[in-house]
Structure 1
Amino acid sequence: MAIAGFLRRIVKNDAMKEDPVEIYGWRVFALAAASCFGGMLFGWDIGAIGGVLAMEATQKQFGYFDASKADKSNQDQNIVSTLQGGCFAACLITPYLTDRFGRRWCLIVTGIITTIGVVFQAASAEHGNLPLMYVGRFVAGLGVGAASMLTPLYVSECAPRAIRGGLTAFYQLFIVTGTMMAFWINYGSLLHITGKALYAVPLALQAVPAVFLSIGMFFCPESPRWCAKQDHWERTKEILVRLRGLPADHSYAQGELTEMATQLESERRLVGDATAITLLKEMWLIPGNRKRAILTVLLMICQQMAGVNAINYYAPQIFKNLGMKGTEPSLFATGVYGVVKVAACACFLTFVADSLGRRWSLIWTGFAQGLAMFVVGIYGRVNPPVEGKPIPPFGYVAITCIFLWTVFFQFGWGPCCWIVISEIPTARLRAMNVALGALTQWLFNFIIARTVLTMQLTMGYKGYGMFFMFGSFGFAMGTFVYFFIPETKGLSLEKMDELFGVTQLVKNIDEEPEARAGNIREQPVEKRQ
C-alpha cells in the first residue's frame, strides 16, 4: 500500500485514480528490474568500449598505437560498430523466436549469448587477437540486439497501464546505469590496474548484467499477453492475478482478461491465422497499422540522429576535442557525464513519464537538445580550444551544454521512444513492431558508430560541424512530434487500435470474446506443475 500511496502522489493520470491499489505490488517492479538488465547489456558496452579503446595500452596491445590519427579512428570505429552488426542481425530473427518460444526464455538465452561474446572479447584483449575481438563483438551484439527488442516488449505487456511508461523507462534507466558503471570502471582501471588487466577487466565485467539477466528472468513469469496469444488462458489468468495481486474473480482482473480476449479475437476475425509474410502485409496494408510502423521507424531514426551514441561511445575523445588534456581527465569527465545521465533518467521515470506524458516530453526536449548542440558547435566555430593552452571560458560553457544535453535526452528521447514503440502496436504485431524499431535503431546506431570519429576529422575544426548537424535534427524532431505523435499515457494496450483509427477490429465482432472471457472467469485457477 505504501508503494501505491507514493505512486498516487507522483503519477498524475486517470488510470492511477481509477485502478485498484493492489496492482502496484512488488512483483511487477521486480519483474521490470530483472528484465531491464537487458538494457544494461547495451549500456555497459557503450561505457566500456569507448574508454578501453582510448587507452594507449589497448592500442599497443592490438598493434595500432603508431598509426595515423585517421587510421586509429578507422580501427576504433570498426571495433565499435561490429557490435551493431550483431544487433542488427538479432533483430531480424528475434520476432519469430519470441512469438514461438515466448519472451521469458528468449531473454534467458539472450544473457547466455552475451556472456559468450564477452568471454571472446576479454580473451582477445589478453592475447591481442583482433579477429577474435570482432567475433566477440558480433556475438555479444546478437544478445544486446535481442534484448533491445525483448525487454521493452516484455515490460509493456506485464505492466499496469497507469505506470507502464515509468516501468518501460526502467529499460533506459538500466542502460544509463550500465554506462555510468562502465565509465567509472574504466577510470578506476586506469588509476589502479596495470598490465593486460587494465583493459581486459573492463571488457570482462560486461558479463555482469548478462548473468543477472539470465538468473533474474528464470524467476519471472511469462508475459500474460503472449500466453493469451497462444490461447493458454488458464496460464494467462494465473500469471495476471499473481502480478496484479488480486483474487481471480476481481472485476479489474476480469476486465483485463476480457480486453485481451476481445482484441485477439477481433484481430483474428480480420486477418485470420497469419504467417510472417501475412503479418508484414497486415502491418503495411492496413492504414492504422502502417501509420504506427512508420512512426516507429521515424522515432528511432530521430533518437539516433540526436547524437546520443556519438557521445556515449566516444565521450573521452569528444571531451579531448573540447579542450581537456590527457586520457585521465577525459575519462573522469565521461564518468561525471554518466552520473548526470542516471540522475536525469531516474527523475524522468519517477516524476514525468506517466504524468507529463510521452508527447510533450519528446517535444520540449527535442528543441532543448537542438539548442545545446548548437552552443557546442558555435564554440568549435568561433572560439575553439588551442593545443597547449587552457580551456577558454566558452569551452566550459560548451562542456556544460554536453551535460545539459544528456539531461534533456534522458527526459524525453532516451526513454520515451522505447515506451511509445512498445505500446502503440496491436497485440499480434507488437513483437514485429518493436523489432522494426530496434532494427532501425541498430542500423542508424551502426551508421553513427562507424562515422563519428571521421566526422570529427572532416566536419570543421575538431568536428564542430557535427554538433550543428545533431542540433538541426533536435529542432526537426520536436516539430515532427508536435504534428504527428498522439499522447498514449494512461491508455490500456488494447485501446491503441481506437487511438490510431483501427476501429473496424472492434465493430465487426460478435459476443464470442465476452463468452470466452466469461468461461475463463468460471474456471478455477490451477497451479502449473
Structure 2
Amino acid sequence: MGNDLQENENTYEIKHIHSSGVRRGSQDEARDAAHLELDKEFTRQKTSLRNQNWDVIISCFGVSFTGFFFGYDTGTVGGITNMSAWLERFGHYNSTLGEYEMATPLVGIIVSAFHIGCIVGGFTIARLADSLGRRIPIGIACFAYMVGLSVQLSAGHGKWYQYLIGRMITGLTVGANAVLSPMLLSEIAPPRIRGVIVNFYQINTTHGILVGYIVDYATKNKYSDDRMWRLPLIGGFIFSVVILPFLINAPESPRYLIKQGRYDAAKKCLARLRGLNLDKLAKPQPSPDQLSTLDSVDAELRFLKENIHYQEQRQRNVHFGQLFSKRFLKRTISGMCIMGFQQMSGIDYFLYYGTKLFKSVGIEDSYKTSIILGAINAAMTYVSIFVADHLGRKKGLLLGSVGCFLCLFIFSTVGVVMIDKADAPNYQLSGAIMIVFTCLFIVVFCCSWSAIASVLVSEIFTLEIKSQAMAFSQAFNWGSNFFIALCTPIITARIGYAFGYVFSGCMFVAIIFVYFLIPETKGLTLEEIDDIYDKEN
C-alpha cells in the first residue's frame, strides 16, 4: 500500500519536472522528454483559426449552441411578461386602468423561478458527467427543455403557477448545460485557442438574446391573441432539435474516456483533435507528418493517464466539503466569486427589464431599444472572443470591472438626479444619456466579464473536483441571477434608479478581488494551471 502511494506521488511529480528541473531516473527522463515534445507541439500551434482543425471547431460550435437556450429565454421573458395577451391569460383585470395586469412581485417570482431550476440542474443533471460523459447529459438536458416548454404552453387561464413550473423545468436544462458545455469545450479545445472555443458558448448566448428580442417584437406587432406569447416559446423546440446532429458528431472528452479506462477511444479522440483520423490512417506506411502526430498523441495519452491516475487516487476521498479544504479553497472562492460578479455586474438588470426601464424614461416602443441593445451585445461578442486569449484573463477582468463600474455609476446618477428626484424630469435628455451609457456598459461587459468568466472557471479546477466545483460556482451565478430577476421590479418600484448603485458597488469590489486573487492562465494547459495553485499551497 505504501509503495503504491509512493508510486502515485512519483507519477504526479512528473508534471513538475519541466518547471522545477528535478530529475528522478531514466524512466522519468524519458517521460519528461515526451512531455517537453508535447509542450513544443503546443507552442507550434498557431492562434489563427484558419490553421486549426475545422472539424473539431465546428463540432465545438454545435455543442456551444446550448448557450442559445439561456440567451433566448433571457431575450423573450421580459417581453412576454409585458404582452397584453399573456397578462390577459395569467393576470387580473384592473377596472380602474381598463387593462389586464399582474402584481410586480408575482412577475419577479415567475421570471426568477427559472434560476431555481438552473441551480438544481447544475447539481443534478450536470453530475452525470462523471458517469455518462459530457455529451449524453447534454442530450438529457435538451429533452428536459422541451418538456418545460410544453408545460408552459399548456397552461390554462389563470394558471400562472403552471407557467412558473414550466420555467423551472427549462431552467434545469440551462443550469446543467452551463456546467457541461464549458467543461466539454475546455477539455477538447487546443490550449492556444481554448479561450476562443469556450467563448463559443457566450456567442450563442448573445445570439439567443438578440433573436429573443426580435421574435418578441415580431409577434407583439403581428398578433393580438395567445400566439403573441406562444410562438416565441415554440421557437425553443426548434433550437432543441438543431443541436442534436452537432452533439452526436462532437468528440467526447478524452479525459473522461481515460478515466473510464477506454484508452483506444481516448487515443482516437486525441488524434481527431489534432486533425488525424486513425481509422483512415495511410497504410501500409503512414506519412512522416502522421507519424509525428501519432508520437504527440501517444505522449499526451501517457501524460493524461498518469495525471488522471494520480487524481483518481485523491478523488476516492473527495466529497463536497473537500472544495473548502486548504488545497482547493482558493479555487472554490475564485470560481464562485467570478460567476457571482459576472451577474452582479448588472447585465441582467438591463436584459431582463430593459423593456420597462426604457419605457420609464419616455421611450414608447422599448422593444425596439431592446433589439438595439441585443444587437450591440451580439456584435461585441465577436470582438470579445479574442480578448480572453490576447488580453489575458486577469487584465481583461480588471479593465472590465473599472469600465462597468463607471458606466453603472453614471447611469444610476443620471436616473436618480434627472428623473427620480427632479421636479420636472427631462426624459428626452436623460433617456439619451442613459441609453448611451447602457450601450457603453454592454460593450465593456462583452469584452471582459462576458468573454472571460466562463473560460476562467472552466480552467481552474482539477479533474477530481471539476464537476462539483463548476456546479457550485455556477450556482452562485444563478443565485445572483435569481436575486436580480426577483428583486429588480420590486426594488426599482421603491427606490428607482438608485438600484443601479448596488451593481456599481459590486464592480468596485470585483476590482479588488481580481487584483489580489486571480492568477493569469492565458496560454497554459489545464495541468500547468493546476501547478500554479498547487505551488501556492
Distance 1:20-1:163 versus aligned 2 partners, 3 A rule:
closer
2:409 aligns with 374
Equivalents in 1 of 2:195, 2:143: separation in Å? Answer: 28
| CA drift at 1:314 | 1.2
Q: How does 1:113-512 map to 2 (within 5 A)?
A: 113-124=144-155, 127=157, 129-246=159-276, 247=290, 250=293, 251-269=295-313, 271=314, 273-274=316-317, 278-285=318-325, 287-325=326-364, 329-349=365-385, 351-384=386-419, 391-459=427-495, 463-502=496-535
Distance 1:65-1:202 versus aligned 2 partners, 3 A rule:
farther
Distance 1:96-1:408 versus aligned 2 partners, 3 A rule:
same
Query: Secondary structure of 1:288's partner?
Result: coil
Equivalents in 2 of 1:217, 1:298: separation in Å? Answer: 30
Equivalents in 2 of 1:223, 1:248: separation in Å? Answer: 23
Distance 1:83-1:366 versus aligned 2 partners, 3 A rule:
same
Distance 1:418-1:248 versus aligned 2 partners, 3 A rule:
farther
Equivalents in 2 of 1:26, 1:240: separation in Å? Answer: 15
Amino acid at match of 1:320: K
Does residue 18 of the first structure (1) align with residue 31 of the second (2)?
Answer: no
Amino acid at match of 2:73: D
Equivalents in 2 of 1:244, 1:258: separation in Å? Answer: 16
Given that 2:418 and 2:426 are in contact with CA atoms closer than 8 Å, whether structure 1 keeps it comes out as: no
Query: Secondary structure of 2:389's partner?
Result: coil
Q: Which runs of 5+ in 2 are unaligned?
A: 1-38, 277-289
Equivalents in 1 of 2:60, 2:361: separation in Å? Answer: 38
2:13 aligns with none
- Which piece of structure 1 moves more, 113-122 or 18-27? 18-27
CA offsets, 1:417-472, max 9 Å, x none? 1111111111222212211111111122111111010111112xxx2111111111
- Which piece of structure 1 moves more, 158-167 or 425-434? 425-434
| CA drift at 1:23 | 7.5
Equivalents in 2 of 1:20, 1:38: separation in Å? Answer: 27
| CA drift at 1:105 | 0.5
2:90 aligns with 62
Distance 1:248-1:225 versus aligned 2 partners, 3 A rule:
farther
From 11, 18, 42, the equivalent of 2:70 is 42
Equivalents in 2 of 1:96, 1:470: separation in Å? Answer: 31
RMSD (Å) for aligned C-alpha atoms? 2.5
Query: Secondary structure of 1:428's partner?
Result: coil
1:99 aligns with 130
| CA drift at 1:132 | 2.1
Given that 2:126 and 2:467 are in contact with CA atoms closer than 8 Å, whether structure 1 keeps it comes out as: yes
What percentage of residue pairs aligned between the two structures are identical? 27
Equivalents in 2 of 1:428, 1:127: separation in Å? Answer: 49
Q: Structure 1 stretches (4+) deviating beyond 4 angstroms? A: 13-17, 20-23, 67-71, 385-390
Equivalents in 1 of 2:75, 2:254: separation in Å? Answer: 34
Query: Secondary structure of 2:327's partner?
Result: helix
Equivalents in 2 of 1:181, 1:300: separation in Å? Answer: 24
Query: Secondary structure of 1:426's partner?
Result: coil
Equivalents in 2 of 1:387, 1:406: separation in Å? Answer: 30
| CA drift at 1:81 | 1.1
Distance 1:423-1:127 versus aligned 2 partners, 3 A rule:
same
1:52 aligns with 80
Given that 2:355 and 2:366 are in contact with CA atoms closer than 8 Å, whether structure 1 keeps it comes out as: yes
1:3 aligns with none
1:10 aligns with none
Equivalents in 1 of 2:387, 2:105: separation in Å? Answer: 40
Given that 1:107 and 1:213 are in contact with CA atoms closer than 8 Å, whether structure 2 keeps it comes out as: no
Compute the TM-score of the two structures, normalised by the length of structure 1.
Answer: 0.85
Given that 2:115 and 2:478 are in contact with CA atoms closer than 8 Å, whether structure 1 keeps it comes out as: yes
Amino acid at match of 1:472: G
Equivalents in 1 of 2:354, 2:40: separation in Å? Answer: 41
Amino acid at match of 2:220: L
Distance 1:321-1:104 versus aligned 2 partners, 3 A rule:
same
| CA drift at 1:201 | 0.6
CA offsets, 1:212-244, max 9 Å, x none? 223321222211111112221111111110122
Given that 1:117 and 1:136 are in contact with CA atoms closer than 8 Å, whether structure 2 keeps it comes out as: yes
Compute the TM-score of the two structures, normalised by the length of structure 2.
Answer: 0.84
| CA drift at 1:376 | 1.1
How many aligned positions are there?
479
Amino acid at match of 2:301: L
| CA drift at 1:101 | 0.8
| CA drift at 1:74 | 1.2
2:105 aligns with 74
Query: Secondary structure of 2:465's partner?
Result: helix
Equivalents in 1 of 2:500, 2:315: separation in Å? Answer: 49
Distance 1:272-1:62 versus aligned 2 partners, 3 A rule:
closer
Query: Secondary structure of 2:390's partner?
Result: coil
CA offsets, 1:163-220, max 9 Å, x none? 1011101111111100000001111111222311011111221223222223321222
Equivalents in 2 of 1:464, 1:135: separation in Å? Answer: 31
Larger radius of gyration: 2
Equivalents in 2 of 1:84, 1:337: separation in Å? Answer: 23
Equivalents in 2 of 1:18, 1:100: separation in Å? Answer: 34
- Which piece of structure 1 moves more, 126-135 or 364-373? 126-135
| CA drift at 1:128 | 5.2
| CA drift at 1:354 | 0.9
Amino acid at match of 1:362: L
Equivalents in 1 of 2:83, 2:46: separation in Å? Answer: 54
Distance 1:193-1:71 versus aligned 2 partners, 3 A rule:
closer
| CA drift at 1:94 | 3.0
Given that 2:415 and 2:430 are in contact with CA atoms closer than 8 Å, whether structure 1 keeps it comes out as: no
Amino acid at match of 2:346: G
Given that 2:343 and 2:481 are in contact with CA atoms closer than 8 Å, whether structure 1 keeps it comes out as: yes
CA offsets, 1:284-311, max 9 Å, x none? 22x3322111100111111121112222
2:282 aligns with none
Given that 1:102 and 1:222 are in contact with CA atoms closer than 8 Å, whether structure 2 keeps it comes out as: yes
2:6 aligns with none
Equivalents in 2 of 1:396, 1:43: separation in Å? Answer: 26
Distance 1:335-1:15 versus aligned 2 partners, 3 A rule:
farther
| CA drift at 1:249 | 5.6
Query: Secondary structure of 1:354's partner?
Result: helix
Query: Secondary structure of 1:486's partner?
Result: coil
Query: Secondary structure of 1:252's partner?
Result: helix
Given that 2:123 and 2:176 are in contact with CA atoms closer than 8 Å, whether structure 1 keeps it comes out as: no
